Structure 1
Amino acid sequence: MPRKTTKSRSTQEIALAQTEGWFARRGWEVFDFQRAVWQAAVQGKSGLLHSGTGSGKTYAVWFGALLHAEPRLGQPELPASTSGLRVLWITPMRALAADTLRALQAPLAELLPQWQAGMRTGDTASGERARQMKSLPQALVTTPESLSLLLSQADAQQRFARLDAVIVDEWHELMGNKRGVQVQLALARLRRWRPGMVVWGLSATLGNLEQSLQALLGPTAAEQGVLVRGEQRKRIVIDTLLPPQPARFAWAGHLGMQMLPAVVAEIEASGSTLVFTNTRSQAELWYQNLLDARPDWAGIIALHHGSLDREVRDWVEHGLRDGRLKAVVCTSSLDLGVDFTPVERVLQIGSPRGVARLLQRAGRSGHSPGRSSRATLVPTNSLELVEAVAAQDAVAAGRVEQRPVPETPLDVLVQHLVTIALGGGFQADALFAEVRQAWSYRDLRLDQWQWALDFVVRGGQSLTAYPEYHRVTPGEDGVYRVEVPAIARRHRMNIGTIVADASLHVQYMKGGRIGTIEEGFIARLRPGDRFLFGGRVLEFVRVHEMTAWVRRSTAGSGAVPRWQGGRMPLSSTLAHAVLDRLQQAEQQHFDGPEMQAVQPLLALQDAWSALPTGERLVVEALKSREGHHLFFYPFAGRLVHMGLASLLAWRLASTRAATFSIAVNDYGFELLGAEEVEMHRLAPQQAQALFSEDQLLEDVLASLNATELSQRRFREIARIAGLVSQGYPGQHKSARQLQASSALFFEVFRKHDASNLLLTQAQREVLEQELELERLRSTLAELRARTMTLVQLERPTPFALPLMVERFREKLSTEKLADRVARMLRDLEGAADKTPAREQAKPATRRKAKPKTAA
């Protein structure tokens, strides 16, 4: 026995030496964190590797998996490999799969020639899929959806019978959504079949690492899990492109194309640049304006976002990789780990709204160990200068947002039950214990489990009479299976938790597909209307068979499509960093070029009102021809502000009948009513009651159209749970059909099955995701701890104007909005010019002279 142990240890040492030799032959240094992962994997340990983008994470976990699966790696006596899947690599995006596969194949030819590596995603050709159905390669790169499809095959357990390792790439992008829950459930199944396999996750830009490890490995395995932190050798530079003339009055996007010349100069001075925007609409505008400014760049700058056709995106990605493109204007579609080594610079148009997102995008430049990453922020309004320097503060301090993990999403569980029933069947008690090994279901109650089981067996209480919802059948042997082939086909076609926005294909009349666009945008167009898409001005012709048919237009402008979900809220981490900078400004500290540039705006805000800080909530009251305005500045992000504004409007109206119009942005919100709300007459306890957490849930639900919000959320849940099918290839249902179908189920459950847990989930997701209830609760606690300063205004302040513009946008055309804002600006700038310079330069000296009330 001792001799065998010595031989085994020697074999592992040789394999590690072979691995380090492979690195040395390429002139690469092996980092300590890579060795730590290899040693842990060889010992059969699972874990999470957290390291910056481009630091060498991929080969850390890949060689760890190889060393665990094949201890004699790189040695001549290595036996000929037998078929069967040994290592599974899960990637969140199909676009990453091909790039990842190339990286994984590189060492195999030299160190493990007996192995084959392949890819299985939605883009995999049918011929390759057919070959994989006969025999999977030893290493497979796949997506959560494709993994679930493999688990739905009747011989799934045999297919994974030799699996030694699972690697989950970009875990920080998966763990906070239902796709991550889907992965958790799949891993729980694989661990049951292969208890000795190792699981490793890769993450970057993440605040809650311990919880991330637990979510990956499950409540039992996480106790022995290893958390490896990569060395922070990569230098990240965050700077700001200052506007030539920062305005004293700013609103969303007001700088617009004033920054275009500076952006052109930055691109000109760099070899290859990624220009990130926060929305697809913004990407379209910037791409078109860059081409207008530099027509000679046609062919060497490109556009990339999720609505463009796959072939277009592939062309752009290959151009970046090969160094043929000077710049690409893109969205989050290029956030994740595609390796674009030639990229030197990243420009971020507008605030990134979060520290993690900024770091992720910065890492797209200098994407290899030893190189620096640089991101330059391009403000779209003057207040974003404060966000820019606050983001730099947060990066320097290492403060990064946490990603919450979904708790007990029953729609994903229902889908998983049908998947496993297809994949060889299950016994109820055994699967219940297995599901509870997924972190999101660690507290799954038996009654919830029984409800989900009953729902897939007979459709629950409401759908018993409809055979198509009797999806799973218990057998005499106690095994639950899917016995109806039509149900099996429909389920496999709809596996997954990605619920795409309602969209239509965009195609030229003479052929040639361009991409997809929201159905709601097209529905507003009439034949002959023009719109900007894919960097081209297109003329709308007609809609036929889920396709918007278009032709090129010779006109120079058009409407810009607006896609759902584009406006990201300010994170709490970045919001607190902004308040810290405002606190410094109040104390006359304007450190750095960004704060010096925005000083005139902040000084005017303080001269006319006051600066919000972490210790002070500023509330402004203004009377105008429109009515009585109240402006609040909690700095908690637009989602929280929407819930908070509705909550305060409800509570104010409960004491005295009133109706309010609401406008929100990331810094605050406006309540506009016909009658004055005399905030200064509120007793301290009344003011505190406005921000009370008592009866918070009841008041939030009462203040909003909760039924409408829940019904909209239920559409997604119904699709994931298999109640509503998106149709078969070539026969996809329209958004209207899906909405009508889900609305019907919603009403049936509400009236005849009020205890249906999917209804409860819809309401919970509205509160947690659309209104960020927990963040709203913590914001209320913070506001109660702040001193409330009420200021009676004579005119809108620099902080109030953006909120008024937000409200105008909802009811005015672009031209009328521009005229309205221009008139207001003339008046406000005139008043600002008359404000004594000393009052703007020394705002603290004005504290007692202004009509303010502290509560």
Structure 2
Amino acid sequence: MTLSSPDHPENPGLPQVFRDWFAARGWQVHPHQRAMLERTHDPATLLIAPTGGGKTLAGFLPTLAELADGTHQGLHTIYVSPLKALAADIRRNLTTPITEMDLPIRVEDRTGDTSYSVRQRQRADPPHILLTTPESLALMTSYEDAPRIFAGLRRIVVDEIHALAESKRGDQLVLALSRLGTLRPGLRRVGLSATVEDPDAIGRLLAEAPHTASIVHADPGPPADISMLTTEEAPPWAGGGAAYAIPAVLEEVRRHRTTLIFHNTRAQAEIFFHNLWLANEEALPIGIHHGSLSREQRARVEAAMVAGQLRAIVCTGSLDLGIDWGDVDLVIQVGAPKNVKRLVQRIGRANHRYNAPSKALLVPANRFEVVECVAALKAVAEGRLDGEARGPGPRDVLCQHILLTACAGPYDADALFAEVRTAGPYAALTRAAFDDCLQFCATGGYALRAYDRWQRIRQRADGLWELRDPRTSRRIRMNMGTIMDTDTLKVRLRGRGGMPLGEVEEGFAATLTPGDTFLIGGEVVRYEGLREMTVEVTRRPTQPPRIATFMGTKFATSTQLSDRILQMFRQEDWPELPRHTADWLRLQREVSHLPERDRLLIESFPHDGRNHVCAYGFAGRNAQQTLGLLMTARMEEQGLNPLGFVATDYATLVWGLDEVTDPAPLFSRENLFEGLETWLAGNAVMKRTFKTSATIAGLIERNTPGKRKSGKQATFSSDILYDTLLKYDPDHLLMQITREEATRGLVDFGRIEQMLDRIEGRIDHAILTRVSPLAAPMFLEMGRVPIKGRAEARLVEEEAERLMEAAGLA
């Protein structure tokens, strides 16, 4: 490529020093990087490029080119990342070209890990490029001197924008962008992502409403080399540990330079790492990385990865996103991926180079996950990503934004309303809904207006709104954010200055007695006691561990994958499946039916002296769990005496004293949702949802100056508030928000309604004399087997054999 002129069509706007730097390395500017240079002055641009395709450089090239002459003073570009570690990685990567080209550019990061003194210096003397997170950006907009801090800001780059779009962190970010748009009119916005299922939707999220971003598509590169791991031993009938695959996984680790071994939950990652290490007779260097480990331990693992010192890293979503971790040449996904987009993101961690195919293996944890893995492989091959449409911007996040805006100084409500409506998710926000949020921040709502603590803002005589007491700004800032992580306790080794190991859920810590052992960071530790809200432990490598219950999402299978599985069930045979799994499905078809997309399969059968009914809704774990609550409520009304239920992603199994002879009334829309409001109001899910929304909206404080509430204290406070509002002000703003969040979130009513729409009352009722092959594994989900220490594997195996024999599978 000729690099002779800054105006050369292949190098628009690139200064000579850049062209020389590229030429010295024999590099060429990729077409999508050229396109980003050409669109430097577009108001909003979304780049969709494969992992390893140079997205980050494409996003930063216009910034580096504009700053190269050294004339710009102050902050020029803000880079926003979902992960603190990703911001730190980008800083390392930017340092190389800046240093080698001797550019007069200062790059710094600002996250929750940045010291107070550095944050203060950055406010007084901002760097040219600031790398940060949505939370830190929102915090910066709340300072009185925000207009001065952002005075020279020209561009904002949002990396991995798809990940932010899926949660309230995305809503928090776009509200901060709306604030920046007021402080710096003409601010250019850039979004970067490798996995976008709906580019137009992300384009609308990124741009200033009612506009949308221009979209640049990079060459997607060669298809991934992805398959299912072949093992000598068949997967078990149930469970999520995939211990059966340890020998095969260890062999793959030996054959590759660096392997990332992804898990869907932190607890599963700990179990797998422990088992992998026990089998690692060659002492291959293997690490573990997840969000519940201490920052120090994560940093050590990250440094070892970058240095190429680890052969494998067992990890979770903490390594999902675009960090360039050394020479990774294989990704292994343990457990069904649940979501195609997440799988593609993880696959991209391998061979992090442009136009080099990524290599990945799927390891199903159990027999049903074999089917899901095959469905996911087909979706990846077809390039079909999945994603659920998001609703309007949540009002609890808007309440937080109103309070943060007040921290920066007095504002006009009309102007703030107009500003908020430039944020895509809030473009359709009504003035009445905005005023409800404003009044909530001013009074706490009708039932709470008598309490001074919730009267945080007021309207002045000139019509402007301001903080009632300027001193509350500190408390508001201390409690901002949308990530809920209050119910954890730190874990440290006992002793003066004991090393931090990570954190465990408070509920798990409450079950511990001195002498109990558990896993954290791959180590077996012994619980010694609780001291000042810290779990103190000692190392006990020779004792069998319990497993800590770590925070983190238990993903539900996406609608696309559920539909693909149901399509597979329509096949006459399954040559793409291993024989053991295909035989299982054939027997299910002989004994009962295979579920169909437009019909609801209900099975009734006796087992162990109880009557069982199994509903195959394929609606995802949350929805199937909610379906169990609704089914048992209806069965109770009909005098069928239900005793309990268990739910998976694909079915709900209920057991009780009496036989269900006619399931149709249980699943009519009218009967299923009758009394739903009453049921919801008294359900623990609602209280949990209320606590989350009330914390985000600022009604409940997570942190106060000098101390931090425990999860129990916060829950106790939120329960009292919930009961008070339910009784005296059931239409309170926070109660409205709670109902909205619960129905579309934790209990997933939307997918139940989709299921009911899909089947249109068509129900297949199979009355069986014994447990069906498809229902049999669900009995292993119930926890009926008393699992203790080293007897676990044997007990599960014996119970599985008994169940499969009853189902005709042995």
TM-score by length of 2: 0.93
CA contact (8 A) 1:569 1:639 kept: yes
Deviates more, 1:406-415 or 1:333-342: 406-415
List aligned pairs for 1:349-368, cutoff 5 A: 349-368=334-353
Aligned residue identity for 1:155: D
Q: Is the 8 A contact 1:347 1:375 kept in 2?
A: yes
Q: Deviations over 1:345-383 (max 9, x none)?
A: 111111111111111111111112122211201121122
**Structure 2: which amino acid aligns with 1:754?**
P
Which residue of 1 is the match for residue 3 of structure 2? none
Say if 2:95 is the partner of 1:108.
no
Q: Residues 329-344 of structure 1 correspond to what in structure 2 (within 5 A)?
A: 329-344=314-329
CA contact (8 A) 2:607 2:771 kept: no
- Counterpart residue number, 1:714: 690
Q: Does the CA-based 8 Å contact 1:693-1:780 persist in structure 2?
A: yes
1:591 maps to which of 575, 596, 604: 575
Residue-pair matches, total: 802
Aligned partner (choices 223, 233, 236) of residue 235 of structure 1: 223
Could you give the per-residue CA deviations for residues 422-463 of structure 1, whole angstroms, max 9, x where no partner exists?
113211111011111112222222222222212222333233
Q: 1:678 is aligned with what amino acid? A: T
Q: Which residue of 2 aligns with 1:314?
A: 299
Answer yes or no: is 1:168 the counterpart of 2:158.
yes
CA contact (8 A) 1:353 1:569 kept: yes
Residue matched to 1:87? 77
Within the alignment, does 1:507 sit opposite 2:492 as a pair?
A: yes
Structure 2 residue aligned with 1:853: none
For residues 725-746 of structure 1, give each alpha carbon's deviation from its aligned partner in whole angstroms, at most 9, with x where no partner exists.
2224762111111111222222
Tell me what 2:625 maps to. 642
Query: Once the 2 structures are TM-superposed, how far is the Cα of residue 85 of structure 1 from its aligned partner?
Result: 0.9
- Partner of 1:796, secondary structure, is coil
Q: 1:394 to 1:643 in 2, by over 3 A?
A: same
C-alpha contact (below 8 Å) 1:509/1:551 kept by paired residues:
yes
In structure 1, the residue matched to 2:549 is 562
Quote the RMSD (CA, aligned, Å).
2.7
8 Å Cα contact 1:805-1:821 kept in structure 2: no
Question: Residues 313-371 of structure 1: CA distance to partner in whole angstroms, max 9, x if unpaired?
Answer: 01111111111101111111111111113111111111111111111111111112122
Which residue of 581, 590, 595 maps to 1:612? 595
Q: Give the Å deviation of 1:827.
A: 6.6
Report SS of the residue matched to 1:384.
helix
Equivalent AA in structure 1 for residue 723 of structure 2 = E
Give the stretch that moved more between structures: 397-406 or 311-320. 397-406
Contact 2:210/2:422 (<8 A) preserved = yes
Match of 1:290 in 2: 276
Q: Deviations over 1:611-662 (max 9, x none)?
A: 2233554322111333211122222211121223333444455555543521
**How far apart are 1:403 and its partner, in Å?**
4.3
Match of 1:805 among 750, 760, 780: 780
Residue number among 196, 207, 210 corresponding to 1:206 in the alignment: 196
Which of 134, 139, 144 aligns to 2:124? It is: 134
Q: Distance in 2 between matches of 1:51 and 1:711?
A: 42
- Quick one: distance in 1 between partners of 2:198 and 2:728? 41
Choose which of 384, 394, 410 in structure 2 pairs with 1:425.
410
Counterparts of residues 688-727 of structure 1 (less than 5 Å): 690-694=666-670, 698-702=674-678, 706-727=682-703
Alignment map for 1:46-65 (pairs within 5 Å): 46-65=44-63
2:538 aligned partner: 551
User: Percent identity of the aligned residues?
Assistant: 35
Other-structure match for 2:650: 667
Change in 2 beyond 3 A, CA 1:234/1:710: same
* Conserved? CA contact 1:390–1:577, under 8 Å: yes
- Residues 833/493 of structure 1: CA separation in 2 closer, same or farther (3 Å cut): closer
Equivalent residue letter for 1:62: F
* Among 521, 524, 529, the residue aligned to 1:542: 529
Shift of 1:817: 9.6
CA distance in 1, matches of 2:553, 2:12: 51
1:750 match: 726
1:234 is displaced (CA, Å) by: 4.0
Q: Distance in 2 between matches of 1:656 and 1:215?
A: 50
Distance 1:696 1:88 in 2: 50
**Structure 2 unmatched ranges of 5 or more:** 1-5
Distance in 1, Cα, partners of 2:384 & 2:53? 19
Identify the residue that residue 87 of structure 2 maps to in structure 1: 97
Q: Check whether the contact 2:417–2:434 (CA below 8 A) recurs between aligned residues.
A: yes
* Residue 193 of structure 1, aligned match among 160, 183, 194: 183
Map 1:621-636 to 2 at 5 A.
621-636=604-619
CA positional deviation for 1:519: 0.8
Indicate which of 445, 449, 458 corresponds to 1:464.
Answer: 449
Choose the corresponding residue for 2:801, options 821, 825, 828.
Answer: 825
CA distance in 2, matches of 1:441, 1:527: 51
SS at match of 2:210: helix
Aligned to 1:395: 380
Deviation for aligned residue 1:95 = 1.2
The answer to whether the 8 A contact 1:646-1:704 is kept is no
Q: 1:596–1:772: structure 2 CA closer, same or farther, 3 Å change rule?
A: same
Contact kept in structure 2, 1:53 and 1:204, CA below 8 Å? yes
What SS is found at the alignment partner of 1:542?
strand
Q: CA deviation at 1:25?
A: 3.1
Q: Which moved more, 1:354-363 or 1:455-464?
A: 455-464
Instruction: Please say if residues 691 and 784 of structure 1, whose CA atoms lie closer than 8 Å, have aligned partners that are also in contact.
Output: no
User: What letter matches 1:532 in structure 2?
Assistant: L
1:123: Cα distance to partner?
1.1
Structure 1 runs not aligned, ≥5 long: 1-6, 835-855
Pick one of 739, 747, 757 that aligns with 1:771: 747
Give how far 1:235 is off: 3.0
Q: How far apart are the structure 2 equivalents of 1:290 and 1:539?
A: 21
* Alpha-carbon contact 2:337-2:343 (below 8 Å) kept: yes
Contact 1:19/1:63 (CA < 8 Å) preserved in 2?
no
CA contact (8 A) 1:425 1:480 kept: yes
Q: Is the 8 A contact 2:266 2:551 kept in 1?
A: no
Give runs of aligned pairs for residues 678-693 of structure 1, distance below 5 A.
Answer: 678-679=661-662, 687=664, 690-693=666-669
More displaced stretch, 264-273 vs 700-709: 700-709
Q: Following TM superposition, by how much is the alpha carbon of 1:708 offset from its aligned partner in structure 2, in angstroms?
A: 2.5
Output aligned runs, 1:8-23, within 5 Å: 13-15=12-14, 19=18, 22-23=21-22
Q: How far, CA to CA, are the matches of 1:413 and 1:401 in structure 2?
A: 27
The 1:25/1:274 distance shift into structure 2, 3 A limit, reads: same
Contact 1:280/1:566 (8 A) holds in 2: no
Tell me: CA distance 1:12–1:279, structure 2 relative to 1, closer, same or farther (3 Å): closer
Residue aligning to 1:39: 38
Kindly indicate whether residue 235 of structure 2 is the aligned counterpart of residue 252 of structure 1.
Answer: no
TM-score, scaled relative to structure 1: 0.88
- Residues 1:263 and 2:249 are matched in the alignment: yes
User: Quick check: 1:236–1:373 contact (8 Å CA) kept in 2?
Assistant: yes
Q: Which residue of 1 aligns with 2:506?
A: 519
Residues in 2 aligned to 1:617 and 1:28: alpha-carbon distance in whole angstroms: 57
Verify the 8 A CA contact 2:134 2:172 in the aligned structure 1.
yes
Specify which structure has the higher proportion of helix. Answer: 1
Q: CA–CA distance in 2 between the matches of 1:790 and 1:16?
A: 72
**Residue 692 of structure 1: how far off its partner (Å):** 4.2
Contact 1:303 1:535 in 2 (8 A): yes
- Relative to structure 1, is the Cα distance of residues 481 and 597 closer, same or farther in structure 2, using a 3 angstrom cutoff? same
Counterpart of 1:239, as a letter, is: S
Is the contact made by 2:776 and 2:803 (CA closer than 8 Å) also made in structure 1? Answer: no
766-775 or 472-481, which deviates more:
472-481
Pairs within 5 Å for 1:150-165: 150-165=140-155
Aligned AA (1:38): L
Contact 2:242 2:364 in 1 (8 A): no
